[in-house]
Chain A
Amino acid sequence: MRRQLALIHFALGGLQRRASKSVALVLGLTLVVGLFGSTLLLTDALRREYELLADRMPDLTVQRLVAGRPSLIPEATALMIDDIPTVRDVEARVWGYYFFTAIESNVTILGTERDGESLDVAVEDGRLPRAGNEVAIGNGLADLLGLRVGDEMGIPLGTEVVFSEVVGVFGDDSSIRSADLIVARPAHARVLLGMAEGWATDLAIDLTTQDEAAVVAEHIAERMEGARVLDRRLLRRTYELTFDTRGGLMALLLVPALAAFLLLAWERLSGLGDAEQREIGVLKAVGWATSDVLLARIWESVVIATLGAVSGLGLAYVYVFFLGAPGLSDALLGWSNLRPAMQLAPAIDPLQAFSLLGAVIVPFVAVSVVPAWRAAMIDPDRAMRGGR
Chain B
Amino acid sequence: MGSRRLLALGIGVVLCAAVLTSVLVHAAKRRSVRAGQRAHGALVDATGMTDLALSSSARWLRHPSLSEPGAATADLPSSLDVDPAGALIGPPTEILRSGAPAPADGVQR
By a beta-carbon cutoff of 8 Å, the part of chain A in contact with chain B is: 5, 8-9, 12-13, 16, 43, 46, 49-50, 52-54, 56-58, 61, 63, 65, 67-70, 91, 93, 95, 97, 105-108, 110, 112, 114-115, 118-124, 128, 138, 140, 170-171, 173-181, 183, 202, 204, 217-218, 221-222, 225-231, 234-235, 237-239, 241-244, 246-252, 303, 306-307, 310-311, 313-314, 317, 321, 331-336, 338, 340, 345-350, 353
B residues in contact with A170, CB < 8 Å: 39, 43
Interface size bracket, B side = 35 or more
B71-109 CB mask vs A (1 if < 8 Å, else 0) is: 100100000011111111110101100111110000000
Contact of A303 (CB < 8 Å), options: B9, B42, B54, B66: B9
What is the number of contacts between chain A and chain B, taking CB atoms within 8 Å?
261
Do B54 and A68 touch (CB < 8 A)? Answer: no
Least CB distance, A17 to chain B, in whole angstroms: 12
Contact of A93 (CB < 8 Å), options: B31, B48, B88, B90: B48
B residues in contact with A91, CB < 8 Å: 48
B residues in contact with A5, CB < 8 Å: 6
A residues in contact with B8, CB < 8 Å: 12
Contacts A108-B62, A230-B65, A237-B94 hold; do A248 and B50 have CB atoms under 8 A apart?
no
B residues in contact with A53, CB < 8 Å: 40-41, 44, 50
A residues in contact with B87, CB < 8 Å: 246-252, 332
By a beta-carbon cutoff of 8 Å, the part of chain B in contact with chain A is: 2, 5-6, 8-9, 12, 16, 19-20, 22-24, 26-27, 30-31, 33-34, 37-57, 59, 61-66, 68-71, 74, 81-90, 92, 94-95, 98-102
A residues in contact with B31, CB < 8 Å: 345-346
Do A177 and B50 touch (CB < 8 A)? Answer: yes
